[in-house]
Amino acid sequence: MADQHAAPVTASAPLSRTEAVPVVPALRWEDLPEGPVIVLLDQRRLPAAEVELVCTDVPALVEAIRTLAVRGAPLLGVAGAYGLALAAVRGFDVDEAAELLAHARPTAVNLAYGVRRALSAHHAALKDGAGAQEAAAATLAAARALHREDAEASERMAEHGLALLQELVPGGGFRVLTHCNTGALVSGGEGTALAVAGAAHRAGELRRLWVDETRPLLQGARLTAYEAARAGMPYTLLTDSAAGSLFSAGEVDAVLVGADRIAADGSVANKVGSYPLAVLARYHHVPFVVVAPTTTVDPRTPDGASIEVEQRSGLEVTEFPGSGASAPLAPLGTQAYNPAFDITPPELVTAIVTENGVVSPVTEEGLAELCARSRSG
């Protein structure tokens, strides 16, 4: 892989109750004497090591996206925008860069959104008569703005989400089940669903965070547990298939998940395993709440069936994560079904929490109205 190297960073600080974000930011832009770079906290290595990955060009960033060194819908949008800025500042073809970046992964709509937003800033600057350097500066400014807005959206979602939990679960002391990873590792701020759990924790109202391990890449075990531990949350890890017994024992007050894409009708694409949780939640009369910024809502996708679900290599299922063929989990040659996401229909979603407020029940009109508030404000 061209122009990419990994460098260890300083040892992690001891766990503390107040820390809401990782010590090492999930993504940052850095101006080095030899040129600008995008520095990622390599999420493939967590929690064993906090290692930074330095991307000096777009192919390196695309590879980092494909292999989940950087991941999660909102952060993919931010990464896509900075990737375009990197191409512009380093004098590469921005249209070609946009093509490569926007198609690095297909489901999270934020990625294409971030790329499109930075590309529009570049084109608009050129149209206004800017030179290459000025256009590149405008592209970087657009990426920085998206990064900042995403952090602000996190804060708003946490506030709205906590208020909703207080309404849905009278008496407080929430026992929340979550899936995949939705914290500061996926965002410019504290994240989406995990930001709500964090706000509940700081308010002294989080009794238990149930963390699904999230097969096959273990984002729950590796990343959510890492973030929950850092924030001092009371959390317990479970295998995905143990969720049913937890519901039937009456141990779950609410499910909080993020989203990779929300169709116009309110269908939610999120990490595979979310849909079974929604079915379980409905059966057990437990609220199933989706927390996502309006940048995750895609008005161009009419319904769940129109969402492209990323299919990933079967090796992620048949081999122990990260170990390669040396630690097989299934006989050599076993075929595996490995969709990265599944679709939850709107009727199973109790509420969608965005930075602009909450839609519940989830309707096409209600969702469109919430999103319009971002465009008008």
Residues 6+ apart with CB under 8 A from 298: 109, 261, 262, 263, 264
Please count the residues of this chain forming the interface with ligand MRU, following the rule CB under 6 A: 18
Q: Which is nearer to ligand MRU, 221 or 259 (CB)?
A: 259
Extract the tokens encoding 319. 């081999």
Site for ligand MRU in 30-49 (CB under 6 A): none
Q: Which is nearer to ligand MRU, 125 or 277 (CB)?
A: 277
Kindly state the smallest distance separating residue 183's Cβ from ligand MRU, in Å. 8
Which x/- pattern, by CB under 6 A, does the window 95-134 give for ligand MRU? -------------x--------------------------
Tell me, yes or no, if 265 is annotated catalytic. no
Q: Does 230 bind ligand MRU (CB under 6 A)?
A: no
Site for ligand MRU in 340-369 (CB under 6 A): 340
24, 243, 259, 277: residue in contact with ligand MRU (rule CB under 6 A) = 259
Of 23, 101, 239, which Cα lies nearest the Cα of 93? Answer: 101
User: Which range touches ligand MRU (CB under 6 A), out of 235-243, 245-253, 256-264, 346-354?
Assistant: 256-264
Site for ligand MRU in 61-100 (CB under 6 A): 68, 71-74
Residues 6+ apart with CB under 8 A from 38: 27, 28, 29, 30, 54, 55, 61, 79, 82, 83, 86
Residues 42, 212, 260, 342: which is the catalytic one? 260
User: Which range touches ligand MRU (CB under 6 A), out of 10-18, 196-204, 253-261, 277-285?
Assistant: 253-261
Kindly state the smallest distance separating residue 245's Cβ from ligand MRU, in Å. 23
- 3 state DSSP class of 154: helix
Query: For the chain, what is the radius of gyration of the CA atoms?
Result: 20
Beta pairing partners, 32 = 35
> What are the CA-CA distances from residue 236 to residues 175, 256, 359 (Å)?
11, 15, 29
Residues 6+ apart with CB under 8 A from 262: 268, 269, 290, 292, 296, 297, 298, 352, 367
Q: Phi/psi zone of residue 324: left (φ > 0), alpha (ψ -120 to 50 degrees), beta?
A: left
Cβ 363 vs Cβ 292: under 8 Å: no
Q: Which residues are catalytic?
A: 260
Query: Which residues define the annotated binding site for substrate?
Result: 71-73, 105, 219, 270-271
Q: Which residues bind ligand MRU (CB under 6 A)?
A: 68, 71-74, 108, 180, 182, 186, 191-192, 219, 258-260, 270-271, 340
